[in-house]
Amino acid sequence: MVASRRVKPIRSDDADPPAAPVRREAEGVLRDQGGRALGRRALKTRTRLLEVTEELLGRRPLREISVADIARSAGTSPASFYQYFKNVEEAALELAERASEELPALVARIDGSWEGDDGAARARDLVEAFLAHWDAHRAVLRLRNLASEEGDARFLDLRARSMVPVLDALAQRVAEAQASGHNDPALHPRAAAAAMAASLELLASYHSELELIGITREDLVSTTARILLRTITGNR
């Protein structure tokens, strides 16, 4: 993973208002700047604003989305938006954080036996789950990765925190296969894990485009699953 560094974040045309963003307390309760817990109606409005933000991100770049656009589509006002988010980037970051909360379920698919039929089924299940995760959050995850590559430290940190558990789990499986004498001892477990994770992320991000040139989803799933299985276990 690329180390986090402090750089200039993505800019927005929306001027930041004086209000601070909503805070999430340790117990999971959302509170405003004054420390007041958000009520049912406020939570519903906040959720709707996030939904609209994600819908708009699926149609145009972040830099072309304004607070007014989001508020209008959500049937509320810019002032209402600013009660919950500092700017559009903060709402996008919240969406990316929510998507990252699904990663532990993906990591759980890596745990367990990778030998024999169990390994083949586990590899296929992991690839399908990764594609499904990206299909559900494509616009937000692409934004997260693009912002990371452009040097936005917030998204860079989130991407690292999201992917490190995946890398750790994959590396652990490679190391176990090496310890049992089934895999090439020359493989660096974390380097192998990074290569697998990068392949999964890239294929999940662009599988729709690949289908346009005749590579079906089934082709991608079955082939990638075989590559994962061989890399993790050393079995052919």
CA–CA dist 222, 121 (Å, integer):
10
Where residue 33 falls among pLDDT bands split at 50, 70, 90? Answer: very low
Across the chain, mean pLDDT equals 85
**Between β-strands 23-24 and 30-31, what pairing exists: parallel, antiparallel or unpaired?**
antiparallel
Q: How many angstroms separate the CA atoms of 159 and 235, rounded?
A: 31
Cβ-based neighbour number of residue 158 at 10 Å: 20
pLDDT tens profile 59-72: 999 999 999 999 99
Q: pLDDT band at 206, cuts 50/70/90?
A: confident
Q: How confident is the model at residue 41 (pLDDT cuts 50, 70, 90)?
A: confident
Is residue 3 over pLDDT 50?
A: no
Each residue of 65-99: b (16+ CB within 10 Å) or e? bbbebbbebbebeeebbbbbbbbbbbbbbbbbbeb
Of 5-14, 20-29, 91-100, give the lowest mean pLDDT range. 5-14
**Residue 23 predicted with pLDDT over 60:** no
Domains and CATH numbers, the chain: 29-85 (1.10.10.60), 98-233 (1.10.357.10)
**Residue 210 to residue 49: CA distance in whole angstroms:** 32
**What is the band of 35 on the pLDDT scale with cuts at 50, 70, 90?**
low
pLDDT of 7 over the 60 cut: no
Q: pLDDT class for 236, splitting at 50, 70, 90?
A: low
**Tokens representing residue 187 in the block:** 């493989």
pLDDT digits (tens, 9 = 90+) for 143-200: 999 999 999 999 999 999 999 999 999 999 999 999 999 999 999 999 999 999 999 9
